[in-house]
Amino acid sequence: MAIYDPNSLKAEEFINDEEILETLKYAEANKNNVELIDQILEKARPKKGEKGYVCSGLTHREASVLLACEIPEEVEEMYKIAEEIKMAYYGNRIVIFAPLYLSNYCINGCVYCPYHLKNKHIARKKLTQDEVRAEVIALQDMGHKRLAIEAGEDPKNNPIEYILECIKTIYSVHHKNGDIRRVNVNIAATTVENYRKLKEAGIGTYILFQETYHKKSYETLHPTGPKHDYAYHTEAMDRAMEGGIDDVGLGVLFGLEMYKYEFAGLLMHAEHLEAVHGVGPHTISVPRVKHADDIDPDAFDNGIDDDTFAKITACIRLAVPYTGMIISTRENQEVRGKLLRLGISQISGGSRTSVGGYAEEERPHDTEQFDVSDQRTLDEVVNWLMENDHVPSFCTACYREGRTGDRFMALCKTGQILNCCHPNALMTLAEYLEDYASPETKKRGYEMIARELERIPREKTREIAKQHIEDIRNSNRRDFRF
Ligand code: SAM
C-alpha cells in the first residue's frame, strides 16, 4: 500500500487515498469542535506584519475541518476571513480572460465531456491559422489581452507543433490597439520535452484540471484514451515544472466525485508542489460539471449546490491565500457575484466555448464544450464588476517582467501588490475604456480610476501611473507596466 509523502513524485504517494480518508474522518469527528475550529480560523486570519499582511494558510486537514463544519456562525466567519484575505492580497482587482478553443478533436473517452471520441454527432473542428487570426482579432476587438487556449487531446490532429504554431499566431496579431499579451494553455498532460517547448513559446500558466483525485472514479470517468492513466495525469504538473514552467494551474471538476474528497486532494496537490518545487500552484480553478451535447450533469450524483460551492471557494481561499482563483462562465451572474467576494481573483468574460465561436455573429452551439451560463458581453461584465466595486484588470505584467513562480509569490507576501498590480490594473483598464468600452462603461470606469489611483501608497508610483493614464487617453501609446 502507498504511504503518504508530499515530497514523493509518485501520484499515489502525494495524493494518498488513505490520508484523504483519514482526513475526512478527522474532519467529520471535529466538525462541531468549536474550540478547534476557532483556532483554525485564527490561524487563517491575515495578520499585519512589517511589510503588509501575512497569512499562514492551512493544511489540508485543518481546511477539511472547516469544510465539514456546518455551524452557521462559524461558516459566516469563514466567509468574512476569505474576504479579508482576498482584500489583503488581491485587493478589489479582478483579472479578466477569455478561453479560445482551438480544436475539439479528441481521442479520449471522458464520460462528462462532449468531445469524447464516441460522440459522433458533435461537429469536429480544428482552426486553421487564418481562423486563429480571425478569432484573435474578434477577441482583441472585445478588449481581451489574456487568453486560455483549449484543445482536445489528439496527437494526429492537435500535435504539440499545432499548439505551438497557434501560440505564435496569437502573439503575432496586433489589430488596431489590440494585442494578446498572455496565453495560458489548457491542454492534456504531456511530456517534459513538450512542456519545455510551451515554456519557450512564452506561455503564461499551464492549466490542467485533475477532474477527480479519486483514482478509481478517475479510471471509470476516463475509460479509454491516454487520459485514462491516473498517474501520468496527476504527475503532469511535476513534469511541467521540470520543463521550466513555474506557473501551473490546478482544478477539480466539481460534481464528479464527493466534494470533500476532492477538496482534500486538491490541497494535498498544492502542498506537494510547494514541498517539491518550492512554489505552490499559481491558480486554482473551480469548474462545476455542466450540461453539454451528449452530457447530462444530473447523471453525476455528486453535484453540489450553490451554498456548498461558496463554502468550498472560501475554504480554498483560507487554505492557500497566495493562489489566484478562477471562475468561468460555466457559472451564472449571481453565483459569480457571490464568489468574487469570497476569494476569486480571475474571471472569464464574453466567452464562447465553441471552436471558431468568436468570429461568428451569433453564438454557435454545434461545437460547444459546455453551455455558457453567463452570456453577457465583456462590456457588460466589466461594467457590472465596477458597479460592484471590483476593478477589472487586463494586466499581464508579471510574467512579462519575469515575476513568475516564487517571485510572484514574493510580491504577494511583501505587500507590494498595491504599488505594482494596482497601477497596472488601472492602466490596463484605461486602455480598455479608451479602445473598447461603451460610453456608460467608460464614464463609470474613469470615475473608478480617479478614486482608485488615490489608493496607490507610493507617491512616485501614483504620479507615474496618472501620467501613463493621461498618455493612454491622449495618444495611441499602450502597454505601460510596472
Ligand atoms: N483536453 C484537455 C484535458 O483533457 O485536460 C483540456 C481541455 S478541456 C477542453 C478543459 C476542461 O473542461 C476539462 O479539463 C474539464 O474539466 C472541463 N469540462 C469538460 N466537460 C465539461 C462539462 N460537461 N462541464 C463543465 N466542464 C467540463
315 lines ligand 1 (CB under 6 A): no
pLDDT digits (tens, 9 = 90+) for 210-220: 999 999 999 99
- Please count the other Cβ atoms lying within 10 Å of the Cβ belonging to residue 171: 17
Q: Is the pLDDT of residue 410 over 80?
A: no
For ligand 1, mutation pick of 110, 113, 198 (most atoms within 8 Å of CB):
113
Mean pLDDT across 277-293:
94
pLDDT digits (tens, 9 = 90+) for 50-73: 777 888 999 999 999 999 999 999
Q: pLDDT grade, residue 267 (50/70/90)?
A: very high
pLDDT digits (tens, 9 = 90+) for 312-327: 999 999 999 999 999 9
- What's the CA-to-centroid distance between 136 and ligand 1, angstroms? 21
Do the Cβ atoms of 393 and 97 come closer than 8 Å? no
Range of lowest pLDDT (3-17, 291-305, 341-355): 291-305
Alpha carbon separation from 192 to 189, 199, 209, 231, 232 (Å, rounded): 10, 10, 18, 15, 12
- Which SS3 state, helix, strand or coil, does residue 397 take? helix
Instruction: Give the nearest ligand 1 atom to 253 CA.
Output: 16
Q: Is the pLDDT of residue 102 over 90?
A: yes
Strands, DSSP E only, in 126-264?
146-151, 182-186, 206-207, 248-251
104 lines ligand 1 (CB under 6 A): no
Q: pLDDT grade, residue 415 (50/70/90)?
A: low
- What's the CA-to-centroid distance between 113 and ligand 1, angstroms? 6
Q: Distance between CA atoms of 129 and 119, rounded to whole angstroms?
A: 26
Q: Distance between CA atoms of 309 and 314, rounded to whole angstroms?
A: 9
pLDDT at position 282 is 95
pLDDT at position 370 is 83
Q: What is the DSSP letter of 9?
A: S
- Please count the other Cβ atoms lying within 10 Å of the Cβ belonging to residue 456: 21
Q: Is the pLDDT of residue 475 over 90?
A: yes
AA identity, residue 463: E
User: Rounded to the nearest 5°, which phi and psi values hold at 270?
Assistant: -60, -45
pLDDT digits (tens, 9 = 90+) for 120-151: 989 999 999 999 999 999 999 999 999 999 99
Contact residues for 399 (Cβ-Cβ < 8 A; gap 6+):
182, 204, 247
Q: Which three cell numbers stand for residue 226?
A: 491516454
AA identity, residue 36: L
What would you report as the CA-atom Rg of the chain, rounded to the nearest whole angstrom? 21
- Give the position of cell 502573439: 171
169 lines ligand 1 (CB under 6 A): no
| Residue in 221, 144, 155 with CA at minimum distance from that of residue 190 | 155
Q: Which three cell numbers stand for residue 112?
A: 462528462
Secondary structure tally for the chain: helices H, strands E: 20, 11
- What's the CA-to-centroid distance between 114 and ligand 1, angstroms? 9
Do the Cβ atoms of 273 and 261 come closer than 8 Å? no
Mean pLDDT across 462-481:
97
Q: pLDDT grade, residue 399 (50/70/90)?
A: confident
pLDDT digits (tens, 9 = 90+) for 223-266: 999 999 999 999 999 999 999 999 999 999 999 999 999 999 99
pLDDT digits (tens, 9 = 90+) for 12-52: 999 999 999 999 999 999 999 999 999 999 999 999 887 77
Mean pLDDT across 176-201:
98
Q: What is the DSSP letter of 133?
A: H
Q: What is the DSSP letter of 201?
A: T
Q: Distance between CA atoms of 322 and 270, rounded to whole angstroms?
A: 11
pLDDT at position 188 is 98
Q: Distance between CA atoms of 101 and 413, rounded to whole angstroms?
A: 34
26 lines ligand 1 (CB under 6 A): no
Do you know the residue count of the chain? Answer: 482
For ligand 1, mutation pick of 163, 186, 198 (most atoms within 8 Å of CB):
186
pLDDT at position 134 is 98
Contact residues for 1 (Cβ-Cβ < 8 A; gap 6+):
18
Share of the chain above pLDDT 70, in %: 100
Do the Cβ atoms of 318 and 81 come closer than 8 Å? yes
